[in-house]
Amino acid sequence: MSYIKPLSKLIDELTALPGIGSKSAARLAFHILKIPKEKAYAIANAITDAKEKVFCCSICKNLTDTEPCSICSSEKRDRSVICVVESPKDVVAIEKTREFNGLYHVLHGAISPIDKIGPDDIFIKELVQRITPEIKEVIAATNLTIEGEATAMYISRLLSPLGVNVTRIANGIPVGGDLEYADEITLSKALDNRRKIL
Amino acid sequence: MSYIKPLSKLIDELTALPGIGSKSAARLAFHILKIPKEKAYAIANAITDAKEKVFCCSICKNLTDTEPCSICSSEKRDRSVICVVESPKDVVAIEKTREFNGLYHVLHGAISPIDKIGPDDIFIKELVQRITPEIKEVIAATNLTIEGEATAMYISRLLSPLGVNVTRIANGIPVGGDLEYADEITLSKALDNRRKIL
């Protein structure tokens, strides 16, 4: 005998989520059976609600529940800079720094020949279409991985001929980082990119 | 700026689940936004379905979607033994051993004065009501914790005067266990409960 059907169905659905094994799924399922009905329904509603209300902004492709998104429609943002990132999570991470006041463009991925993801599989064409004489700079803020670097390089080669200044976020030792534990490539890049102390 | 509302609501709901922090909740939420609509709805449906269809069996208090549950209504089970456990998960664990063919009684907890859980807060009264001359043995298979032991002791004192043979599952070193790493109490109980090698 294993679990009764509605319970095993719930466990199966939860096991399919990333980072949740069968043991955690069972624990979550029992938790859901234990909590008040309204709370369990709130979880189910939050899932369907998110699926129904969240979509990609037609301009920047960031996740949004308004069209265009709050950043694209804001009058306070600097419309001459576009920060290109791989995922919507990166937008939240950059917004948290409060350092950037321009617009975004979310690629929803990076070029990765191994995973058969080419330039046409992510929103690069849509980025090119956004380039107007108004745009002065495009910051390639893709991840500092091989795929992110390749994507940044691709974007740079594509946009530079259009007269856009394409920049890349800095490589180096993280704040609080220990040189002893930094990998060789990071350390050599940090040396390469050294700057004068004012 | 943080996440848009439907997304942050979903993250909040997921964070409230046990063992899921805000980072995993965000990862799960983004995963849910990424998968096809039908799959996300399947998760939501599994939650509401489980809430609607699963209830406690009126006899043994195990989780069930039929009344009485499949074990209580089975004609193949030995009706002279009741195995008392703390939670429905324990029933599944014991059923997996295929060693036990009697009935169950799920207490949904254990006596724990510290958490203000007394005998009346768990299904002990319902267990007493099930005791008929037909019942020969009650196996107290509550956990081997202080609360589980106290509950087993309480049940034993309550049922023994009714002429029921109350037994307790064995304490000892687990199969494959190393004496070197066993805690002192387990080791001393394992010594106490030693038996003759046939």
- For chain B, domain boundaries: 5-53, 56-196
| Residue B29 distance to chain A (closest CA, Å) | 8
Summarize pLDDT for B87-130 with one digit per residue, the tens: 999 998 899 888 899 999 999 999 999 999 999 999 999 999 99
Please report the pLDDT score of residue A116 as a whole number: 94
- A51 and B29 within 8 Å at the Cβ level: the answer is no
Residue A101, pLDDT score? 93
CA distances from B194 to A146, B143, B145, B191 (A): 61, 20, 20, 5
**Mean pLDDT across A10-34:** 92
B33 contacts in A (CB within 8 Å)? 50-51, 54, 63
Q: How high is the pLDDT of residue B1?
A: 52
What is the dihedral angle through the alpha carbons of B149, B153, B158, B160, rounded to the nearest 10 degrees? 120
CATH topology of domain B5-53: Helicase, Ruva Protein; domain 3 (1.10.8)
What is the number of CB-based contacts under 8 A between chain A and chain B? 154
If you average pLDDT over residues A97-126, what whole number do you get? 94
Residues of B in contact with A88 (CB under 8 A): 30
Contact A9 B53 (CB under 8 A): no
* pLDDT tens by residue, A133-158: 999 999 999 998 999 999 999 999 99
Q: If you measure CA to CA, which chain A residue comes closest to B3? A: A92
Contact A9 B48 (CB under 8 A): no
Q: Please, which residues have CB within 8 angstroms of residue A77's CB and are 6 or more apart in sequence?
A: A71, A101, A102, A103
The third-level CATH classification (topology) of the domain covering A56-196 is Dna Topoisomerase Vi A Subunit; Chain: A, domain 2 (3.40.1360)
Chain B positions in Cβ-Cβ contact with residue A3 (cut-off 8 Å): 92
Q: What is the pLDDT of residue A1?
A: 52
Choose between B31 and B196: higher pLDDT: B31
CB-nearest to A17 from B28, B64, B96 is B28
At B73 the pLDDT is: 94
Angle at B172 between CA B180 and CA B195, to 5 degrees: 110
Residue with tokens 């001459």: A80
pTM of the model: 0.76
Provide, as residue numbers in chain A, all residues whose Cβ is less than 8 Å from the Cβ of B53. 5-6
